Amino acid sequence: MSETTTNTATGATAARSRGAVALTVARVLLALFFAFSAFARLIAHESAIESFDRMGWSHGAMYLIGALEMAGAVALLVPLLSGVAATAFVGLLAGASSSRCSTR
């Protein structure tokens, strides 16, 4: 009986470990995505300037959004802050989607 309990516990631990690895990989990939996006805004890349001009937003808004994205990307890598950062990114992406739909 103890062998069955041990095998079940080991299987659950392995599944939990795979889930933790998958979550960490997803957090790192999202952090890289947002960091690259923020970097383009912070260095005022031509494509970022064009998109903000097309929306009628100022360059100050571009820098602010870039700084917030960079802070969120760093926060995704800190386990204590990753939940808050993910929630903030949901709001950011919802706002980006609604502003994108309203400019078309």
Tens digit of pLDDT for each residue in 46-97? 999 998 998 889 999 999 999 999 999 999 999 899 899 989 999 988 988 8
Tokens of 16: 């939990």
Q: For residue 62, with 0-12 CB atoms within 10 Å meaning exposed, 13-18 middle and 19 or more buried, which class applies?
A: buried
The reported pTM is: 0.75
- Give the Cα separation of 33 and 51 in Å (integer): 18
